[in-house]
Amino acid sequence: MQIIEITDKKQLNDFVSSQKMSQFLQSWQWGEFQKKVSGIIWRIGAVEDGELKASAKLVKKQLPMGRSYFYCGRGPVFKDGVWHDAAGNMLLNEIKRLAQEESIMFLRFDPTFSVANFKYPLIKTIDVQPSKTVILDLSSSEEEILKKMHQKTRYNIRLAEKKGVKIVESGAARFEEFWQLLVSTGDRDEFNLHGRSYYQEMLKFDSNFVKLFFAESEGKLLAVSLVVFFGDMATYIHGGSANENREVMAPYALQWQMIKLAKQMNYKYYDFHGVDEVKWPGVTRFKFGFGAKQADYPGTFDLVYDQGWYNIYKMVRKVRRTF
């Protein structure tokens, strides 16, 4: 087994997308996006007999005082979704070597595999990616999916359709409308947003990877959503809804249309991307109403390379979150 730099888009995407509930954060496309919004990235893999056994896409994230860390979102990725010592140890040794070259303080990652028996000293930290989400299995017919929904959700979908809510796919040309609705939703529901340019860059993607949808009624924009399509899963990553005309139930029609589209495109799963009954009770109830099942991930962890600087970083982070 050996470590390689992955330079072939098809090789990486074939490997990552072959995993059940494929994680778009480790895709080639998302790496290209992060080059533009974050900076330097690395794509490395553990190969045996010419076959990838594990891969990791790393992003170098800058911190104050000239320090930085690596972030590996929803990774590393392993062939059957389970940590393997041989491939995993090789990957982590290579990441540590790169960290020394780049003056990296720590590796932050949020794995999909269990770390219960991990031999490395991990520090659990605040979630970057949600550790709880709800995922809808699309293998059933549309009628069966509807039947498994909460009765109120089915009612609201039909109500929205009866009131003439229309779903249209759009793109960067309507960015301002999308952005304004996203900001108002963030203010109302207390969501943290990325900067404006982050979403602008995202909408430059090929529409086969990221799609933007609008829900409209009587000429009014009532709801928006961004969905990523990769591997066997469509993932709803960002969205918003208007403060007015909420009785029309446009978000229900919008989600249902995206679910139907994902199924028509032969995706196996639809990920609502994050639930939290304490922080977002209303949004969480909304997502569970579609009959999706909860999926739990271990959380976000730091593997520290420079303990002295890491201690300073934690102190500063704690102070900043206090005020």
pLDDT tens figures, 170-189: 999 999 999 999 999 988 88
Q: Is the pLDDT of residue 243 over 70?
A: yes
Q: What dihedral do alpha carbons 307, 311, 313, 314 form, nearest 10°? A: 130
Cis bond before residue 76 (omega within 30° of 0): yes
Reported as a single tens digit per residue, the pLDDT across 48-57 is: 999 999 999 9
Rounded to whole angstroms, the Cα distance separating 214 from 181 reads 11
Reported as a single tens digit per residue, the pLDDT across 111-167 is: 999 998 899 999 999 999 999 999 999 999 999 999 999 999 999 999 999 999 999
Classify strands 210-217 and 41-48 as parallel, antiparallel or unpaired.
unpaired
Residue 191, both tokens: 């969501």
Q: Tell me the pTM.
A: 0.95
**Arithmetic mean of pLDDT over the chain:** 95
Rounded to whole angstroms, the Cα distance separating 118 from 103 reads 24
CA pseudo-torsion sign 9, 34, 284, 242: negative
Rounded to whole angstroms, the Cα distance separating 23 from 27 reads 7
One-letter amino acid identity for 234?
A: A
Residue 47, both tokens: 């190969």
Beta bridge partners of 239: 225
Rounded to whole angstroms, the Cα distance separating 23 from 43 reads 15
Q: Is the pLDDT of residue 323 over 60?
A: no
Between these two residues, 317 and 245, which has the higher pLDDT value? 245
- Is 2-129+298-322's fold the same as 132-296's? yes
pLDDT of 300: 98
Reported as a single tens digit per residue, the pLDDT across 59-95 is: 999 998 889 999 999 999 999 899 999 999 999 999 9
Domain boundaries, the chain: 2-129+298-322, 132-296
Reported as a single tens digit per residue, the pLDDT across 21-37 is: 999 999 999 999 999 99
Cβ contact 244:184 at 8 Å:
no
pLDDT of 124: 97
CA 275 to centroid of chain Cα atoms: 12
Distances in whole angstroms, Cα of residue 50 to Cα of each of 2, 15, 47, 101, 227: 9, 12, 6, 27, 33
Q: Is the pLDDT of residue 320 over 80?
A: no
Mutual orientation of helices 151-162 and 250-264 as an angle, nearest 10°? 100
pLDDT of 321: 67
pLDDT of 34: 95
CATH of range 132-296; options 3.40.630.30, 3.40.50.80, 3.40.50.720, 3.40.1280.10: 3.40.630.30
The fraction of the chain above a pLDDT of 90, given in percent, is 89
According to DSSP H, which parts of the chain are helical? 9-17, 28-37, 85-102, 142-148, 151-162, 175-189, 196-202, 250-264, 281-288, 307-322
Residue 130, both tokens: 């949600």
Average pLDDT over residues 196-222: 93
Cβ contact 296:131 at 8 Å:
yes
**Architecture of domain 2-129+298-322 in CATH?**
3-Layer(aba) Sandwich (3.40)
pLDDT of 184: 92
